[in-house]
Amino acid sequence: MAEFTGLSAFPLTPFKDDAVDERAFVSLIERLADAEVDSITALGSTGSYAFLDPEERAGVARLAVEYAGTTPVFVGVGALRTSHVLANVADAERAGASGVLLAPMTYQPLTHDEVFELFRAVTERTELPVIVYDNPGTTHFSFTVDLYSRIAGLPGIASIKIPAVPADPKRAADHVAAIRAVIPEHVTIGVSGDAFAATGLNAGCDAWYSVIGGTLPDPALAITRAAQQFRADEALAESARLEPLWSLFSEFGGSLRVVAAIAEQLGLAPRRCLPLPIQGLGAADRVRVAEVVDELGLVAELGLNDEPGLHDV
């Protein structure tokens, strides 16, 4: 489906004093709509969905749709219990979402049949298109290509968000082709794992479900548009330029704390914007992030003045 292609930007859900900072969240949504991303996915892992209570999640979904204008908004609905997932789906429908994103969250390890039945329960209850969210780093559930195939055959499945593709272009293309071969044509494949997103798009992924796109939409759009227009080398070059950022993701155990630190530094989110117990980066690590932000010219690129804290969030 056309809506499930291109750049889907995953904004943070900034917290302040253990509550959602609605003003900061709305500013993030407006920035993404202004940047003309192809879609916004609210309440992804980057949006801390697993930490919010149901009322907070419904409120965030409503704000995202309200301030995204004509940009489609997808909403993360994952939860540990099936009935809680279905309640989140109903809230996403009421908010006016264009689709829902579902990760099989686990506490007890789940079987493939249990995950299949979860997706069946959701697709039977909603008319909204469903994105299968394969995020083993947080869910500790491992999909197989066979399970992609079973789930993608359910009516209502629109897209599969796959983890990082192999760095080698040939292996990446083979991996994407192997999935493509066993899912219906209308189901898109979206890559995540920002560091290899250019490789994934060049390898035939239809979409990029992007962490940095939620905070730094312009460089993410540069990569996406280049790949979509078959300027593969340009996409790879822009990704290579951002290598210092990917290195920080790798060094600091993932993208979340780094992107939060960038948003805080740029004045897009309040200090310590992640929900406790997540502390965010320490002072020394934030200096490292600030150096990379400076080195890559991200402040200028964002059209902000270079005095963080003066931005009106």
* C-beta of 193 vs 219, nearer to its own copies: 193
* C-beta of 20 vs 64, nearer to its own copies: 20
* Shortest reach from residue 12's CB to its own copies, in Å: 12
First to last CA, the chain: 35
> Contact between 285 and its own copies (CB under 8 A)?
no
> Contact between 144 and its own copies (CB under 8 A)?
no
Label residues 70-90 b or e (16+ Cβ within 10 Å = b).
Answer: ebbbbbbbbbeeeeebbbbbe
* Shortest reach from residue 55's CB to its own copies, in Å: 12
- What type of residue is 45? S
> Contact between 271 and its own copies (CB under 8 A)?
no
- Of the listed pieces 29-37, 91-99, 137-145, 160-168, which binds its own copies according to CB under 8 A? 137-145
> Contact between 59 and its own copies (CB under 8 A)?
no
Euclidean distance between CA atoms 29 and 71, whole angstroms? 10
* C-beta of 113 vs 295, nearer to its own copies: 113
- Of the listed pieces 65-73, 232-240, 271-279, 293-301, which binds its own copies according to CB under 8 A? 271-279
> Contact between 192 and its own copies (CB under 8 A)?
no
* Shortest reach from residue 279's CB to its own copies, in Å: 5
Which CA distances in Å does 146 have to 112, 131, 149, 163, 218?
10, 17, 5, 16, 36
Q: How many residues sit in the footprint of its own copies (CB under 8 A)?
A: 34
Please return the burial class of 262, using the count of CB atoms within 10 Å of its CB with bins 0-12, 13-18 and 19+. Answer: buried
- Of the listed pieces 134-142, 169-177, 183-191, 294-302, which binds its own copies according to CB under 8 A? 134-142
Under 8 Å CB-to-CB from 227, ≥6 apart: which residues? 198, 201, 202, 235
> Contact between 50 and its own copies (CB under 8 A)?
yes
* C-beta of 65 vs 85, nearer to its own copies: 85
Question: Nearest-CA neighbor of 140 among 163, 162, 109, 102?
Answer: 109
* Shortest reach from residue 155's CB to its own copies, in Å: 19
Cis upstream peptide for 129 (omega within 30°): no
Binding residues for its own copies, per CB under 8 A? Answer: 18, 45, 50-51, 53, 80-84, 104-105, 107-111, 113-115, 117-118, 121, 137-138, 140, 253-254, 256, 275-279
